[in-house]
Copies of this chain bind each other. A is one copy, B any other.
Amino acid sequence: MPIVRIDMFEGRDRKTKQELVKSITSEMVRITGCSEASVHVVINNVAKEDWGLGGELAAIKFPD
């Protein structure tokens, strides 16, 4: 039943996402005792133009 939502910068590849999902699910199971099948992870890939930090867009603060 746990739902984990991750907002992070866009651009990660499928292998990284799969590793995240696997690892976070397994930590949720180990620490909270929930079943593996019940864990949902939803990734929200955010453009640097859509993330502000300290009053400035990440697109400006951290240009590629």
- What is the total number of copies of this protein in its complex? 6
Tell me, rounded to whole Å, the shortest Cβ–Cβ distance linking A38 to chain B.
8
Q: Is the CB of B18 within 8 A of A56?
A: yes
Residues of A whose CB lies within 8 Å of any CB of B are 1-9, 12, 14, 16-28, 30-32, 34, 36-46, 49-60
Question: Would you list 27 pairs from A and B whose C-beta atoms are within 8 A, ordered by A residue?
Answer: A1-B8, A1-B53, A3-B6, A3-B7, A3-B8, A4-B4, A8-B34, A14-B59, A16-B31, A17-B57, A18-B52, A18-B57, A18-B60, A20-B27, A23-B27, A23-B31, A24-B52, A25-B52, A25-B55, A26-B55, A27-B27, A36-B55, A39-B53, A40-B52, A40-B53, A43-B52, A45-B50
